[in-house]
Amino acid sequence: MTGKKVRFGEKLLVVLLFVFLYAPILVLIVFSFNATKSRAVWTGFTFKWYGELFSDATLMSSLYTTLGVAVLSSLIATVAGTLAAMAFYNMKKRWRTPLLTISNIPVVNADIITGVSLSLLFVSVGKFLGHEYGFLGFGTLLLAHISFNIPYVVLSVMPKFRQLDNNLVDAAEDLGCTPAQAFTKVVLPQIMPGVVSGMLIAFTMSVDDFVISYFTAGTTTQTLSMYIYAMTRMRVSPKINAISTLLFTVVLALLIIINFRNNKNDGAAKPVTAKEIKQ
């Protein structure tokens, strides 16, 4: 009887947790189809805000900037973070531990500190080059996002390196593979789930960021979060509900596809053979 009560309590806790996490998103999705601008009273169903969304040039420009920075920064950070994780893995423990701790500082550091410090750095570099505040723009925004995304990729890839069987790498090299071929044919397929997870986290963190973007984008570049922040000083348009719904749907679809592929690959996983390595 006690066990049943415990199981019921655990299930109830999980249900309440999901309600707490996703009820606000559900409300946002519902009111993106509301016929009026009211954020509290449902007055009817409409797709009007989705139509107006794509006709708002400023909003779409902010969205393109956000997605462009997110895609580029996540790809670059994934490559750099994967190589950094491999370097950390091959280090001796006395060097790896302190360097990993330093690498994780941007993860636990307050965004306001990271944003202000990067802004000061970019302004100093711009002043040295004769540009000063005009130096801030898309390039500095992209560099800032790469810098805070790399540690998340390292944290995602490192556990996969720890699970790696070094004998496979040695066997590949004994069979004639160069270090580069051993990495692409043996190591990379083994750590790919961590690489993909790190890339998704980096993409999500980039899309979500406001504070660091605010300090490093300058006056000529505006992300979606900065656009929404500027809108809150007056009145938030239902178009924001519409674009948030679209972004949530896209991210959810990506997560479902990737999880499905990972489960399929795990079910069909098989050891790497010598014939595959030689090919």
pLDDT tens figures, 125-145? 888 777 665 678 898 999 999
User: 125 or 153: which carries more pLDDT confidence?
Assistant: 153
- What pLDDT shows up at residue 257? 75
Q: Which single residue is written with the structure tokens 């946002």?
A: 28
pLDDT digits (tens, 9 = 90+) for 12-46: 888 899 888 888 889 888 888 888 877 777 888 88
- What pLDDT shows up at residue 9? 79
3-class DSSP assignment, residue 178: coil
In the chain, the percentage of residues whose pLDDT exceeds 70 is: 90
d(Cα 152, Cα 163) in Å, to the nearest integer? 18
- What pLDDT shows up at residue 253? 82
pLDDT above 80 (res 4) = no
**Span 192-205, average pLDDT:** 88
d(Cα 247, Cα 63) in Å, to the nearest integer? 10
d(Cα 8, Cα 26) in Å, to the nearest integer? 25
pLDDT above 90 (res 237) = no
**Span 59-75, average pLDDT:** 92
Q: Which residues make Cβ contacts (< 8 Å) with residue 142, sequence separation at least 6? A: 69, 72, 73
In the chain, the percentage of residues whose pLDDT exceeds 90 is: 18
User: 275 or 26: which carries more pLDDT confidence?
Assistant: 26
User: 76 or 57: which carries more pLDDT confidence?
Assistant: 76
- What pLDDT shows up at residue 72? 95
CB 140 within 8 A of CB 120: no
pLDDT above 80 (res 233) = no
User: 232 or 87: which carries more pLDDT confidence?
Assistant: 87
- What pLDDT shows up at residue 152? 92
**Span 97-110, average pLDDT:** 85
Query: What domains can be seen in the chain, in order of their start residue?
Result: 49-278 (1.10.3720.10)
pTM of the model: 0.80
pLDDT above 90 (res 80) = yes
- What pLDDT shows up at residue 146? 94
- What pLDDT shows up at residue 79? 94
d(Cα 203, Cα 111) in Å, to the nearest integer? 17
pLDDT above 90 (res 76) = yes
d(Cα 78, Cα 94) in Å, to the nearest integer? 25
CB 42 within 8 A of CB 27: no
